[in-house]
């Protein structure tokens, strides 16, 4: 039994690492688990310099990571600031900085893996070991008992990322291709001095041209 515990705890910590990496896409300005209101993509001209005003991540973004474990995720503490410039020559540059805490609450069913149940204290100890090895995407982490489950808080350190590439518009889709990467089509809408871009397209079977997770930018 002892030989199987490290494997189980590392698998669970690995899921936490994956969640924190996904969190790098933005913060939820509407209180963590609350669903984002969909926006309708309308197209327009994104040319110009823009500043991130707000972001919202819908919980459905994490469905693949939590489909076998009914964990709850709160990323309301993660803040994102940055800028995007879509130039007239069809090139773009972006800069974004993120930091703040995110919380994941695991019910008892999530603490049993490969037939072995681990305690919250054991999970916390394994996480501290991985942090000490420098392979985590966050600067600190802690897990404490929450009833029969476990509540973990991960603090993302200030992380700045930049991007550059080319852009084009087709209807209500903004096609962006970062240098050395495949092109991506992003539903978007320009209304006056506001630019809204989908972070995740609407769910399959939903209304076309909508976005459930998005960032909203204001023209400089």
The CA–CA distances, whole Å, from 142 to 58, 99, 123, 151, 191 equal: 24, 17, 9, 8, 43
**pTM score over 0.75:** no
Angle CA 80–78–187, to nearest 5: 50
User: How would residue 159 be classed by pLDDT, with cut points 50, 70 and 90?
Assistant: confident
User: Among 4-18, 103-117, 130-144, 157-171, which stretch is predicted with the lowest mean pLDDT?
Assistant: 4-18
Domain ranges of the chain: 5-219
177-204 pLDDT, tens digit per residue, is: 998 889 999 899 999 999 999 875 444 4
109-125: pLDDT as tens digits: 888 877 888 889 988 98
Mean pLDDT across 46-55: 94
Per-residue pLDDT, averaged over 146-160, amounts to 88
What per-residue confidence (pLDDT) applies to 31? 36
pLDDT, mean of residues 5-19:
44
Mean pLDDT calculated for residue range 103-113:
84
In this prediction, residue 35 carries a pLDDT of 57
Q: Does position 17 have pLDDT exceeding 50, yes or no?
A: no
Long-range CB contacts for residues 169-177, cutoff 8 Å, separation at least 24 = 169/43, 169/44, 169/45, 169/46, 171/43, 172/41, 172/42, 172/43, 172/209, 173/41, 173/43, 174/46, 176/92
């Amino acid at each position: 039994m002892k030989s199987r515990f490290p494997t189980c705890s590392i698998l669970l910590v690995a899921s936490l690492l994956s969640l924190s990496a996904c969190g790098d896409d933005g913060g939820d300005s509407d209180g963590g688990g609350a669903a984002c209101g969909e926006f309708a993509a309308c197209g327009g001209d994104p040319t110009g310099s823009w500043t991130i005003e707000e972001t919202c991540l819908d919980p459905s973004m994490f469905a693949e990571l939590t489909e076998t474990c009914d964990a709850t995720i709160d990323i309301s503490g993660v803040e994102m600031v940055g800028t995007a410039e879509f130039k007239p020559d069809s090139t773009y540059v972006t800069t974004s900085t993120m930091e703040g805490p995110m919380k994941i609450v695991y019910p008892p069913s999530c603490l049993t893996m490969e037939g072995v149940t681990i305690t919250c204290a054991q999970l916390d100890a394994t996480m501290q070991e991985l942090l000490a090895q420098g392979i985590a995407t966050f600067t600190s982490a802690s897990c404490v008992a929450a009833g029969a489950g476990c509540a973990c808080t991960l603090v993302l350190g200030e992380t700045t990322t930049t991007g550059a590439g080319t852009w084009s518009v087709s209807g209500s889709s903004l096609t962006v291709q970062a240098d050395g990467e495949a092109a991506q089509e992003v539903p978007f809408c320009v209304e006056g001095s506001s630019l809204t871009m989908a972070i995740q397209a609407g769910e399959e079977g939903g209304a076309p041209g909508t976005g459930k997770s998005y960032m909203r930018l204001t023209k400089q």
